[in-house]
């Protein structure tokens, strides 16, 4: 009986050790509920598509992707200058990114992946401030995340309706926008 118990314990430890030695990706969704801008209040939700890169159980990089819609009440969070992107871009995307170890996957690496998808960086400081101050921000522990804007200029030679993100030694992730 002791040998069987010892074998089971060794198998469990070996299994756990093996689990922590590989790279994996995951996708999901994050919902931000409601918003306020000056005297306006709304109950709509802003849905982010989430992509995460792990080594075992250690999070290397995490990004939340929001396809900005000018008809959404959340567009009130954009400044007048930022709203100009709605007219100049085929698509305007806001990302909320976390890099646990920039030597593994960095914000620069993510920007390069967005560039390969046909997106340029844009400034969305007002939108970022409103999102940082939203009550759901603390629920999702986003204080260490960096908020970036990306514009897909029109017309582009890359006509896909999805993002393709590929970091070295990880499977590609596809997110439909």
Assigned domain for 1 exists: no
Q: Which domain holds residue 71?
A: 22-176
What's the pLDDT tens digit per position in 101-151?
A: 999 999 999 999 999 999 999 999 999 999 998 887 777 677 789 999 999
Angstrom distances, CA of residue 80 to CA of 83, 86, 96, 166? 5, 10, 21, 34
Residue 83 within any structural domain of the chain: yes
Residue 118 domain-assigned (yes or no): yes
Q: With cut-offs at 50, 70 and 90, classify the pLDDT of residue 98.
A: very high
Structural domain count, the chain:
1
Residue 53 lies in a domain: yes
- 16 in a structural domain: no
Say what percent of the chain tops pLDDT 90.
68
Cβ atoms of residues 128 and 97 within 8 Å: no
Q: Tokens in use for 92?
A: 């305007």
Q: Is residue 160 part of a domain?
A: yes
Residue 11 lies in a domain: no
15: pLDDT strictly greater than 90: no
The pLDDT, as a whole number, for residue 82 is 93
Q: What is the pTM of this model?
A: 0.82
Q: SS in 3 state form for the chain? A: CHHHHHHHHHHHHHHHHHHCCCEEEEEEEEEEEEEEECCEEEEEEEEEEEEEEEECCEEEEEEEEEECCCCCHHHHHCCHHHHHHHHHEEEEEEEEEEECCCCCCCHHHHHHHHHHCCEEEECCHHHHHHHHCCHHHHHCCCCCCEEEEEEEECCCCCCCCEEEECCCCCCCEEEEC
Give the pLDDT band of residue 5 (cuts 50, 70, 90). Answer: low
Residue 13 located in a structural domain? no
């Amino acid at each position: 009986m002791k040998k069987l118990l010892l074998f089971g314990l060794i198998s469990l430890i070996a299994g756990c050790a093996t689990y922590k030695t590989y790279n994996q990706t995951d996708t999901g969704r994050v919902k931000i509920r409601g918003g306020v801008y000056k005297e306006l209040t709304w109950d709509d939700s802003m849905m982010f598509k989430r992509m995460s890169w792990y080594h075992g159980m250690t999070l290397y990089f995490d990004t939340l992707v929001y396809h900005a819609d000018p008809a959404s009440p959340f567009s009130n969070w954009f400044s007048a200058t930022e709203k100009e992107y709605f007219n100049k871009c085929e698509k305007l995307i806001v990302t909320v990114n976390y890099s646990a170890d920039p030597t593994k996957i960095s914000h620069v690496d993510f920007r390069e992946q967005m560039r390969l998808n046909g997106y340029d960086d844009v400034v969305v400081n007002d939108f970022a401030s409103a999102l940082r101050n939203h009550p759901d921000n603390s629920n999702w522990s986003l204080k260490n995340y960096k908020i970036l804007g990306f514009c897909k200029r029109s017309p582009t030679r890359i006509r896909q309706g999805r993002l393709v993100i590929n970091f070295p030694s990880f499977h590609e992730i596809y997110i439909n926008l």
